[in-house]
Amino acid sequence: MDPRDAGIGEGISEVIVTTKSAAGTPNAAPIGIISQSTKKGERSYFVTLYKGSQTLANVLETGRLAANVTSDAVLFVQTAFEDLPQECFKDFAGMPVLTEANAWIVFSSDLVEERPQYLRFHLRSPAVKITRREVKAINRGLNAVIEATVLATRLEMATSEQERDTMRREMQRYASIVATCGGPRENQALAILQAKVFKDALV
C-alpha cells in the first residue's frame, strides 16, 4: 500500500507526527508532510523539522517517524500544546501511533538539508495501515481550528507587536468561524486553544 491510499496527497498534508526517543518515550505533534511528484510520476515525501522540537530530537535518535492521518480538531490542538497520555498511543511497525487516527504511515528518514532553524528529511520505505475509511463533508470550523493553531504556534516567533496584533485579529476571525460552523469537536478544540494562548487575543 502507498501513502496516497492513506490520504497523503500531493502538496502538504497536515498530520500528527508521532515519534519516540531512543529510550522509547512517545511524542506527538502536528506537522506537514510534503509530497512531490517526480518526473517518473512517482511520489517523494519530505518533512521539515524545527530545531528545538522533540520531534526532531527523536528523529535524530531513531531515524523514523509515523504520520497519523486524522481530521479530529481536538487532536491537532492537543498535540500542538500538550503531551498526550500514554493510552492514546499504540504500536505499529515498532513505532508509537495514535489509536484514534484513520491511517498510519511509518517512514524512515534521511537528512537532506540543514538550515539555521530547521532540518529537512527525505522520507522513504513507508509502512502503511488504514484503520478507518469514511465520508466527511468539509467543515469550515475544522479548517479554522487548523489555521488558528498554526497562527498560535507562530505567535511567539512574531518579531513586532504589530505583527502579533495582526495574528490575533486573524485568530479572532477564525474563532468566530468555529463558533458558527464547527461541531462539538471543533468547539472543544477552540476552548483548549483559548485556554492555552487565546486569553490575550480574545477580547
Distance CA 74, CA 57 (A): 25
Asked if 172 touches a second copy (CB under 8 A), the answer is no
Distances (CA, A) of 67 to 23, 40, 171, 173: 20, 24, 26, 29
Asked if 154 touches a second copy (CB under 8 A), the answer is no
Distance CA 48, CA 103 (A): 21
Whose grid coordinates read 534521511?
110
Q: Are 45 and 105 in contact (CB under 8 A)?
A: no
Reduced to 3 states (helix: H, G, I; strand: E, B; else coil), residue 59 is helix
Distance CA 176, CA 187 (A): 10
| Closer CB to a second copy, 60 or 142, in the complex | 142
| Closer CB to a second copy, 96 or 182, in the complex | 182
| Closer CB to a second copy, 57 or 183, in the complex | 183
Out of 80, 97, 142, 192, the only residue in the binding site for a second copy (CB under 8 A) is 142
Out of 48, 62, 108, 143, the only residue in the binding site for a second copy (CB under 8 A) is 143
Pairing type for strands 26-37 and 43-50 reads antiparallel
Rounded to a whole number of angstroms, the minimum distance from the CB of residue 197 to a second copy is 19
Q: Which of residues 58-87 bind a second copy (CB under 8 A)?
A: 67, 69, 71, 76
Asked if 41 touches a second copy (CB under 8 A), the answer is no
Asked if 123 touches a second copy (CB under 8 A), the answer is no
List of residues contacting a second copy (CB under 8 A): 5-15, 32-33, 35, 67, 69, 71, 76, 102-103, 130, 132-143, 146-147, 150, 180-184, 186
